Structure formats: structure tokens, C-alpha cells
A and B are shown apart, each in its own frame.
Chain A
Amino acid sequence: MTRALLLCLVAGLLAIPVASADPPQQGVTHVHVAPGTPAVDWGEQLFGANCVTCHGPNGRGITSEVHGAGNEEGLGPSLRGVGAGAADFYLRTGYMPLDDPHKQPHRSHVLFSKGELAALVAYVASLGPGPRIPRPHPERGSLSEGQALFTEHCAGCHQIDAKGGYVTNAVAPTLDQASPVEIAEAVRTGPYLMPRFSGRQISDAQLDSIIRYVIYAKHPDDRGGWALGHVGPVPEGLVTWFIGIVLLIATCAVIGKRIES
């Protein structure tokens, strides 16, 4: 009896790492297709299995709330003409699929495989002509020009250190994990509440500079030595205050000491 219990325990313990190594992928339905199936067709099947509840049949969008199977809310924009750039951005950052259409999408674990992502992007691109996936060359950009442009166009929301910030009713995400392609896609498509910047406002060459600056801002050269989160005067003031209060207490102690007479 004891031995059986022990065996059960050992078996259970062994099962835990196995389970955690391969977690059940929730929220996404994988579609297996025969090899050689065109990407667009595979993408269409994936779209039908994962996206159609909100984006509607053929990506036409659902603009008033419908309740589908399992009382799932369906509400989402049309994907016609958004292009491969937007689809690639939302999928490769894990912004989509979104569990609640009323929430701001945020960066999360990507549940689709690389092949599935490419197939979905190809399908969305086939819905209507739209911007392609940009190919930035940050190595060609200028860091100082990038900083100036970032200050002008981006820092209002994302902060000069690219650590993100707020706008009313939304969060401007940190750019810590943003890859050059994702930055270029976000600038050109304007996800969620972010404005969209066309080539007339920010040229491709200027975009290269901006991306170079964002990459630099992930690991900036901290000459001061103590970066304090790069968020400027608030933590700096706090640290100064903590140092200052020790000095003030020390001064009080010196003043307050009685003279021996």
C-alpha cells in the first residue's frame, strides 16, 4: 500500500515537469494542412478558426457587438486594406488574438508558429492592397538625428528613454522588446491609439535613425553610472531627498548637542 502511494507520488512529480515543458496552448486553434498548401489558403483556415469571431467573415469587420458560441463577444475592425505590415505587427507582438475586444492589446506570448504567422499575414494581405512589411536598416541611420526625431515625434508618449508612458485612456508601451521591424510597422500603421506616420512625415531614412536610437535606448551609455531607471527627475529627486535628509538630520544632531559648561 505504502509502496503504491510512493509510486503514485513519484509518477506525479515526474509528470509536473513534462506538463510545464509543453503547456496546453490556449486561445489558439492550430490547423494542420497538407504540405504544399498555399500560404494564403492555410491562412484562411487559420483565420476562420481564430479570428473570424471578431474580424468577421472575409475580414470585413464586426462593428456592433454580436455574441457567438460560448457567449464570446465579437467586435473588431475590418482588415481589408490594412496590409501585411499591420497584420505582421499585431501577430508577431502577440497583440492578437485579443481575449477581450474592449481591452488595449498588449505584448504577449505568441501562440502561433512562424509558419502559421506567415500564412495569416499572407491571407490578410490578400484581402486588399495595403502597406507591406517594412524593411528598416537601422545601421544606416544616425543616432543623434534619431534622438532628435524621437524627441519630436515619439517621446511625448513613449518618453525619451523609450520606456513607455501614458496617454489618457491608454498605456504607451515600453519599447524594450521592440525589434526594428516592429518599430517600423508601428510607426507606419499606428496601432491602437498611436498616430500613424506616413513617409511624408517621417521618411524611411529618418525612420532608420529613429530605430537606431530606440535600439540604443535599450542599453544606453550611462556615463553618470547610476541610471535610476532613466526616468528623469522623479527618482533623481527622491534619491537626492534621501541623501539630503540624512545630511539634515546630521546637521540637526550637531546643532542640538549641548555645550558642556
Chain B
Amino acid sequence: MKRWLIALGVLVVGRFRRRPLLDEPERLVPSAAPDRRAENIVLLLFGAATLCGVAVPVIYAWDAIPNQTQFLGLAFGLAFAFLSAACIVIAKRLIVTEDIEEEYGLTHPEDEEALEQLVDESGDRFTRKRLLILAGAGAGTALGAALVTPAASLGPVFDTSTLYKTPWRRGVRLVDEAGHAFRADDIEEETFYTAYPEHAEREQMGAPIVVVRLKPAELRLPSARSGWAPEGILAYSKICTHAGCAIALYRKPTFAPVEPRPALVCPCHYSTFDVANGGEVLFGPAGRPLPQLPLLVDPAGQLRAAGNFSGAVGPSWWGVRRHGPRS
């Protein structure tokens, strides 16, 4: 650790702390010959680290390349590896080392002077200090830029209206994976179905829903939502309100008196939503209920949306409660 501090001190402080050559005190560190080859290696390693650091935002921005994530990881890994290799070469080949028996004390002025002298003398071997500092700073800046790059994925900052948009509005039919319209009679109890809005982009957050059927007597929906579940058929967003995973688990009791109540469960962190009670959170890290989609059965017996969701779809963010969803 001491040696690393010294290396850092040499690179940062050493340059500006040249001591007057008059009445030179006795050397603490034995002098050593400069090592241009090691310096070249260090420059090369810093350069390689800089390149890898710069590569990260480039790979990040360039969606067309395959295996983007793997390349990002590789660039990060190599940048750190080159940087640490450079530090190792500096520490082993370029810093003049000296065994120190007593501990450094920074309280006494003489000790401080001795430490400064130590740092200065340890850096004696460098011939191109400014170039090395520049190379090191370049590598550090590139790596810093690489580290903040993923922050660009944190989502829309100023215009969050897209987060409230869903393809559901009154009259949109519910279709299955193959695009066939769901009839109310298709929906059986004790199981669950995934449905999508007809003629809409399925990849968007607000598209997929889970459909289940309970006995109408089992429903405990808030009074404002009476009529949202014709024949006991309920629809909820398939996207968990915690982290946005797809809700793939439905638990239903075989024998209600001793078994847990029917609920949708997210497989990622086990957020559990009560289907009878408007998607209230029963368990888990989700902070708000699963948005419910009001349904209606048209004269042909097909299931259609009767409006938009009860709340914003998808994982929560700071402004999630500000508006309702829009079509």
C-alpha cells in the first residue's frame, strides 16, 4: 500500500515539488539508472487502456454490432487490466524502492520533509514525467467516461410521456400469441392466459396483459372498478411494477380454506399481486398495485378492453404517480 501511495505521489506531486539543488541532503533512496524501455511499456499500456476506455461508449452507441454486452464487458475488463498492468510496471520497474523500518509520522515537520524527499528521490528514474502523467491521465479520463456511459440507459429524463402511453383503449380486442381473438368462453378458471392488444406493437411495455377468471363472488374489487371484470374475468398488466419483469407465475388454491389466495407472482423477486382485489401487493418489493385493465364482453362474446389501465404500466420511477396512462 505504501508503495502504491508513493507511486501516486510520484506521478502527481513529484513534478511540482522539485527541491532546490542547494545544500542537497543525504539521499534516503539509492539512486538508480533510468529505464526507458519500462517507460515505453508503461506508455503503451496507458495507451491501450485509453483505447479500451474509449471503445466502451462507441460499442454502447453502436447498436448494430452483435453480442454488444459481451464486447462492452470485454472493453471494460481490458481497460482495467491494462491500467493495472501499467501500475504494476511503474511500481516494479520505475520506482526506486527502499526498505523503511520505522513508520511514517506526518505530525513532525522533519518527517514530512523526509517523506517529500523520499517521494522526489523515488521518482528520480523517470525521464519523461510529463508524457507519463499525460498518458495516465488520458487512461483515467477514458475509463471514467466509460464508467458513466451506462447512465444514458436510465431512461427518459425530461419527457416521460412515453412511459404513460399504452396501446389499450376502449374497444381494442384481446388476442393471443397467434393473433386469435379471445372469447369470454375461452377463459377458464384456475389458470391464466397472456393476451395482447390487436394490431399493436407487442414489444412495448403497455401491451402484454395477463387474463384470469375468478368466480364473480370471489371478487373484492374497489367500488370504482365494479364492472371492470365481466363474468369474473380480470386483466392485469403483465409487467411487474417493481423491476419490469414479465409476470409468469399464477398461483391458485385447489382448496381455498387452507391455501393462499389466488395471486399473480413475478418470478424475479416474488412480488405477489392479489387478483381478486385489483392487483394489490400481497408480498414482495413491488411498491404499487399491478395496473388493471377494464374489460367488456362484446355482443359476439369476444373480450375487449373497456378503457385504459388503472395506473402507469411498468417499473416505478420518480414521477410514476403524476399522471394516469394515456392511449
A interface with B by C-beta (< 8 Å): 63-64, 75-77, 101-102, 155-157, 166-170, 190-198, 200-201, 255, 258-259, 261
Contacts and interface: CB of A to CB of B under 8 A. Distances in A.
Given A75-B258, A101-B258, A191-B254, A168 B283 contact: yes
Contact of B254 (A193, A259, A261): A193
Contacts of A64: 257
Interface of B: 30, 32, 88, 91-92, 97, 99, 186, 188, 190-193, 248-255, 257-260, 263, 265, 267, 270, 272, 282-284
A101 B259 CA distance: 9
B34 to A, nearest CB: 15
Given A156-B267, A194-B252, A200-B186, 9 more contacts: A77-B254, A166-B270, A167-B249, A170-B251, A190-B252, A192-B253, A198-B188, A200-B188, A259-B97
A190 B251 contact: no
8 closest A-B pairs by CB: A156-B248, A77-B255, A193-B251, A169-B260, A195-B191, A168-B272, A196-B190, A156-B249
Nearest to B212: A195
B191 A196 contact: yes
Contacts of B97: 258-259, 261
11 contacts: A76-B255, A101-B258, A167-B249, A167-B270, A168-B265, A168-B270, A190-B190, A190-B191, A190-B252, A255-B92, A259-B97
A76 B253 CA distance: 12
B76 to A, nearest CB: 15
Contacts, number: 76
Most buried by A among B30, B192, B254, B272: B254
A19 B181 CA distance: 64
B101 to A, nearest CB: 14
A193 B191 contact: no
A246 B258 CA distance: 51
A63 B258 CA distance: 9
B32 A261 contact: yes
Contacts of A197: 191
A134 to B, nearest CB: 17
Given A156-B248, A198-B188, A192 B254 contact: yes
B260 A168 contact: yes
A258 B97 CA distance: 8
Given A102-B258, A168-B272, A201 B249 contact: no
